[in-house]
Amino acid sequence: MTRLPELFSALPRVFAGSYDSKGPWTLLDTPIEELLAALPSAEILGRVHPGAHLVGNQIVLGKGSRIAPGAVVEGPIWIGEDVEIRVGAYLRGGCWVGDGCVVGANVEMKRAILFPGAHAAHLNYVGDSILGRDVNLGAGVILSNFRHDGKLIEIPAGNGERLATGKRKLGAILGDHVAVGCNSVLNPGTIVGARTQIYTGVQLRSGLYPADSLIKLRQELDVVEIARPEP
């Protein structure tokens, strides 16, 4: 049986009873749907700038959280305490954002779960994905969630085995303290173990990546001196 890499040391309490270690992507199905469906019509305890836009209902914003001008937040969505939603961010319905998270300028999130302390701070796309505690996405990181051919996403697991997710849309599942370098792209169905570091500019294929690893892009540069005519 395929063993997934170590991902989360502790789950937020609201998800602890519904987590399936053999299929962590299932948190994006019934658990998040039931949680969001039970939200009140509105509970705004943080600060919303007049230039921000709250769309629809079932929007919860915790104490100490801030939504900056130009941000668009659609319900249903739960945003915890001391969260920063920066200028121009777009949070589409179906998200759960834990305490102390940062959703930065011009970041788009769709049906995503951010555990406490996760940062998607600069020009990111986070679709159908789960970010563990204190995950950090560098500028321009894309968590792609849809195959070009529209087929169901299966995750290569080695030895010719593939994990069937039953999902047409699934981005990345990143364990606690994973760091992803700037301008990296993670293909649909990428699972990265806790504390792993992904270097800048990596194009990561779908699959299982172990905890406590470095994932590097090796590239050769050819620097040629240009002959300049004498004056």
What is the DSSP code string of 146-188? B-TT-PPPEEE-STT-EEE---SB--EEE-TT-EE-TT-EE-S
Active site residue 122: yes
Q: What is the pLDDT of residues 51-83, one digit of tens each?
A: 999 999 999 999 999 999 999 999 999 999 999
Residue from 49, 122, 148, 177 carrying the catalytic annotation: 122
* Pairing, β 190-192 against β 154-156: unpaired
Of 35, 204, 117, the closest CA to residue 196 belongs to: 204
What contacts 96, CB < 8 A, 6 or more positions away? Answer: 14, 32, 35, 36, 77, 78, 112, 113, 114
Q: What is the pLDDT of residues 202-219, one digit of tens each?
A: 999 999 999 999 999 888
Q: What is the pTM of this model?
A: 0.93
- The separation between CA 215 and the C-alpha centre of its own chain, rounded to angstroms, equals 18
**Is residue 74 within 8 Å of 93, Cβ to Cβ?**
yes
**Calpha distance 23→30 (Å, rounded):** 13
SS3 26: helix
Q: What is the pLDDT of residues 154-166, one digit of tens each?
A: 999 888 889 999 9
Q: What is the pLDDT of residues 86-126, one digit of tens each?
A: 999 999 989 999 999 999 999 999 999 999 999 999 999 99
13-215 classified as CATH 2.160.10.10: yes
